Structure 1
Amino acid sequence: MGIKFIKISVVYFVIGVLIGMYMSMAEKFTFTPVHVHINLLGWMSMALAGLIYVAFPAAAGTTMAKVHFWLHNIGLPIMMIALAFLVSGAENATPAVAVGSTLVVLGVIIFAINIIKNVKG
């Protein structure tokens, strides 16, 4: 699971950097919240989770690690696409932002439980 998290984090990193480049070139910063969330929740959080899973294989081998991966990777794209619509003026995107963010939060909670339960000194 650690390697899967690291690999997908790099995809989010590229997306985040491309959004940042677009905003800089266009001098339109509407998508700053999307850029920031993709870089933080996609690139940084998933890369760190991946490194933790590599360092602690007992946690990586659990069903919780798989559930964390899928909740995070289903929720984040939903949340980011909906957030892009929301900051562009589509107020009806709010429920989708809520659904996506709820999935990510659930994934993070499962990650925390997994780490507390399965990472031993």
Structure 2
Amino acid sequence: MGITLIKISAAYFAIGVAIGYYMSSAHSYTLTPVHVHINLLGWTALTLAGILYHLFPDLAKTLSGKIHFWLHNVGLPLMMIGLFFALVLEKEALLPLVATGATITSLGIFSFVFNIFKNLKAT
């Protein structure tokens, strides 16, 4: 699971950089919230989680580890797609999609934190 998360995070890194490059080139910073969240929750958080799951494989085998993996990887794209279109189309009707994705992602992250506190042991 750790290596898979790191590979997924690399895709988010490329997307985040591409959005940043676009904003800089176009001198339009409307997508800043998408850029920031993709880089933080996609690239950084998933990379760090992947490293921890790789270094401590028992964490990845737990139910809370699996819950984290799936909720983070379902919720984040929902949140980012919703936020992207809400900003570009200026449609507040898309905000429930953003909130749903954010809630799912947050629950995944809480599962990760629970897993760390409960199952990470010194060897």
Instruction: After TM superposition, list the pairs within 5 Å mapping 1:86-97 onto structure 2.
Output: 86-88=86-88, 89-97=90-98
- CA separation in 1, counterparts of 2:106 and 2:70? 12
Match of 1:108? 109
Gaps of 5+ in 2: none
- CA separation in 1, counterparts of 2:118 and 2:15? 33
Aligned length: 121
Q: Secondary structure at the match of 2:70?
A: helix
Query: Over residues 31-53 of structure 1, what are the superposed CA-to-partner deviations in whole Å (9 max), with x where a residue is unaligned?
Result: 00000000000000000001111
> Are 1:62 and 2:62 counterparts?
yes
Match of 2:118? 117
Runs of at least 4 residues off by over 6 Å = none
Report the alpha carbon displacement of residue 70 of structure 1 after superposing the two structures with TM: 1.0
- TM-score, structure 2 normalization: 0.95
Instruction: After TM superposition, list the pairs within 5 Å mapping 1:79-90 onto structure 2.
Output: 79-88=79-88, 89-90=90-91
Equivalent AA in structure 1 for residue 79 of structure 2: M
Report the alpha carbon displacement of residue 108 of structure 1 after superposing the two structures with TM: 0.4
Equivalent AA in structure 2 for residue 30 of structure 1: T
Gaps of 5+ in 1: none
The share of aligned pairs that are identical, in percent, is: 56
- RMSD of Structure 2 on Structure 1 (CA): 0.9
Q: Secondary structure at the match of 1:120?
A: coil
Equivalent AA in structure 1 for residue 96 of structure 2: P
